[in-house]
């Protein structure tokens, strides 16, 4: 189940708001320029489906994003707890960073924690199966897949070069609760 927790940046031990209500999550994230939606597919997607099957199952939703925002490419990424490089892959995105373009992810299966640092607040969104999140370009954020990642996501881009992480150097991410799975 999706869960949004909002903290004051100086108080990672106590939340200001914690909700699993999709309407409230949308409202809170829209104020940041972020997008949150729940998608369903008429086709049942299985964990072992190939990338083309997954993309075809969500083609209507992907094409909607493309027509609205002009995205040019999309792909599928999967990671599981048996991956030999899971620790280094996790570490790559758990430091605060930005991107030159929106970071758009749709969770086909599994979960991950997107955390945005906006103003004096930190917005931690646990994304689960069926969740779409779009973190606006140049928004300070980090992503935690947990020590035992299990997810398949559709990623949507303007260009792969715009998705390169630009690290802020701020160590704030280390002070907030990580994803435990």
Surface-to-core class of residue 121, CB atoms within 10 Å of its CB (0-12 exposed, 13-18 middle, 19+ buried): middle
User: Domain for residue 179, yes or no?
Assistant: no
User: Domain for residue 177, yes or no?
Assistant: no
Provide the β-strand partners of residue 79. Answer: 151
User: Domain for residue 18, yes or no?
Assistant: yes
Surface-to-core class of residue 117, CB atoms within 10 Å of its CB (0-12 exposed, 13-18 middle, 19+ buried): buried
CATH of the domain at 73: 2.60.120.10
User: Domain for residue 181, yes or no?
Assistant: no
What local confidence, expressed as pLDDT, does residue 128 receive? 97
What local confidence, expressed as pLDDT, does residue 91 receive? 93
What local confidence, expressed as pLDDT, does residue 164 receive? 85
DSSP notation for 118-143: ETTEEEEEEEETTEEEEEPTT-EEEE
Helix (H, G, I), strand (E, B) or coil at 62: helix
What local confidence, expressed as pLDDT, does residue 42 receive? 74
All residues at 6 or more sequence positions from 84 whose CB lies less than 8 Å from its CB, including other chains? none
Query: Taking the chain, what is the end-to-end CA distance rounded to the nearest angstrom?
Result: 14
Q: How far is C-alpha 17 from the chain's CA centre? A: 19
User: Domain for residue 30, yes or no?
Assistant: yes
What local confidence, expressed as pLDDT, does residue 43 receive? 77
User: Domain for residue 175, yes or no?
Assistant: no
User: Domain for residue 60, yes or no?
Assistant: yes
What local confidence, expressed as pLDDT, does residue 162 receive? 60
- How much helix, strand and coil, in percent to the nearest 5, is found in the chain? 25, 35, 40
Domain extent for 62 = 3-170
Q: Which two tokens stand for residue 12?
A: 């990672």
User: Domain for residue 23, yes or no?
Assistant: yes
What local confidence, expressed as pLDDT, does residue 46 receive? 80
Domain count for the chain:
1
Q: Which two tokens stand for residue 123?
A: 């917005």
Walk along the chain (181 residues) in steps of 10 and give the mean pLDDT of each run.
97 97 98 95 81 95 94 93 95 94 95 98 97 97 97 89 85 96 93
What local confidence, expressed as pLDDT, does residue 80 receive? 93
């Amino acid at each position: 189940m999706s869960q949004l927790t909002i903290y004051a940046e100086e108080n990672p031990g106590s939340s200001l708001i914690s909700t699993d209500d999709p309407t409230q999550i949308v409202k809170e994230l829209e104020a940041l320029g972020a997008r949150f939606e729940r998608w369903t597919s008429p086709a049942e997607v299985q964990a072992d489906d190939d990338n083309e099957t997954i993309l075809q199952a969500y083609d209507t939703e992907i094409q909607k994003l493309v027509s609205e925002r002009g995205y040019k490419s999309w792909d599928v990424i999967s990671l599981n707890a048996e991956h030999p490089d899971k620790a280094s892959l996790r570490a790559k995105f758990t430091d605060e960073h930005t991107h030159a373009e929106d970071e758009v992810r749709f969770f086909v299966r599994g979960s991950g924690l997107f955390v945005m640092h906006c103003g004096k607040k930190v917005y931690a969104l646990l994304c689960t199966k069926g969740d779409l999140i779009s973190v606006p370009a140049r928004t300070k954020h980090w992503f935690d897949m947990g020590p035992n990642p299990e997810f398949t996501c559709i990623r949507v881009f303007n260009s792969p070069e715009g998705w390169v992480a630009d690290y802020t150097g701020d160590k704030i991410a280390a002070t907030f609760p990580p994803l435990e799975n």
